[in-house]
Structure 1
Amino acid sequence: MKKMMDSTTAIITTTDNRVLLQKRDENPDIEYSGCYSLVSGYLEEEETPLDGIIRELKEEFEHKKSSKVHFSSITYLGSEYRADYDRWEYIHHTYLMDDAADIRILEGESFVLLDMDECLRLENLAPHHKLFLLKYRAGLCKIDVREQSKKMFDEITVRDLIKVESVGNVKNYSLLEAGTGFVIGEDTTLSASIPAVEAAKYIGFLQFVPKVLRGNHYHFRKVEYMLILQGRMHATFQKYDDSEAVIEEIWEKGDLVRTLPGCVHTLTALGESNVLTIEFSPQPYVARDVLMNDKK
């Protein structure tokens, strides 16, 4: 596989909502030398963005009194394409659960903890990281620290790679305008509004035939969303590096499913009718990023 120099980033906040920023070294060979930035790093060739940010957190921090720094479970926020470097950046969030006084940073000059407004006023904050903070600050307020602290950042299961929500069926066009669901008209025609949190840059219409398996593959870079327009779907999931933990789900019309990189997904139409779906992604289809599952 050709090396893909995409990157992965963590917005790290404390339980009192301060943001951790790294002060980069004064080195002309690194991006935004001497600036403040979020914690980030390049992805390795066959590494998912989630695995990559876990590795970066382990490499860049150490605890002065115990064996490792305690971060909460990681929340995927979104991805952004950087045209200036022709690469994708994947943005995540985690809480620092330890006292900052007990933490030592191993890369960069130092770190600081600032509230969000202080961060955004910094003149020497890496501009793309300022963009990430501006875009995702509202979403950060919705992350429950009590729920996220139930697991550590490196305790990833297949369930962490899937998110399913129902956009529902309604007969109210004002809801369609708000981007919250389907509308079934009086003449039984169907419109669908997709409440996407990421840009739907690449959109496909997929038809699934009963008793025919599709998928059984995973990606290292592509984030996929699928909206069920008609029918019922059987889905199985597992982590690409763990063939033991397999989960199964049944999707119904109106379900919107997000599948993160590293999740093997296999889909089958249920019943006697075809299943109709819309699939969309921020990232384009790249053949080398479609890896068949060889773990049975």
Structure 2
Amino acid sequence: MNQSFQNKNTQMRIRSIYSTLSDKERLMADFILEHPEKIIHGTINEIAEELNLADSTVFRFTKKLSYKGFQDLKISLATESVNAMKDVHEKVSKSDDEKTILEKVFCSNIKTLQDTLEVIDDIAFARAVDTILHANKIELFGFGGSNVIAMDGYHKFIRTGLTVSAQTDSHMQLISASQLTEGDVAVLISHTGHSKDILEILETVKEQQVATICITGFTQSPLSQGSDISLYTLSEETDFRSEALASRIAQLSILDALYVNVMASLDDKGQASLQHVRKAIQKKRL
């Protein structure tokens, strides 16, 4: 593993390679993410027995995470746990004044962006850019708060000169999805990846052989598992802001990065389209 990987905490290491793991490795990965305290206070034999895995499988997985062994993993998780307790003091409290809350919200957003950048799969992201560039039509889907993100994506990609669309009404989204065909791409946005509405869209477009790109926060969600390309966000919930709300800054940034990459690839064609947009908007200004 490279130095960049070794500089990540355990959660980041797992998330950054999760898509490449075998079923047994994912079992171990999920256990570490959900029960780090059991790793800290348990033995390799106890963990292996609880997961019905061989000791050697557990050991090999710790090596895959670039630790020297199980004990090294335990020490790392314990250190991260102490640091997490320190971070609690940086969360917003009722006694904070306006300036303090302002600073904490900005710091939280910065952390969300940094953490998301760490877990983005470079290969998956490059595939997403290429898929968008070669699509006959790009359509963005999202419901509730995710629809705001989808519409922002539409607001960006309409400037590329590519054929792009997005709808706000849930019925219109489903109708529009039914009209997509092979060669088109659907960009599906959902923090949890469990929304019934977004999964209906996924089912509809997959029946028509439409390429799918999802932006979500959960690797094991039905949306992530069913999409051709998955781009993940990583955010934390606080007392005054849900994890879903915190993730939106990362979702917006992923769409920004996709847009800029597409524009860079389009080169003169993209710039010509952007100039047309600017010229048209100029007429609306006094």
Regarding TM over 0.5, the answer is: no
TM-score bucket (shorter structure): under 0.3
Normalising by structure 2, we get a TM-score of 0.26
Richer in helix (by share): 2
Normalising by structure 1, we get a TM-score of 0.25
Richer in strand (by share): 1
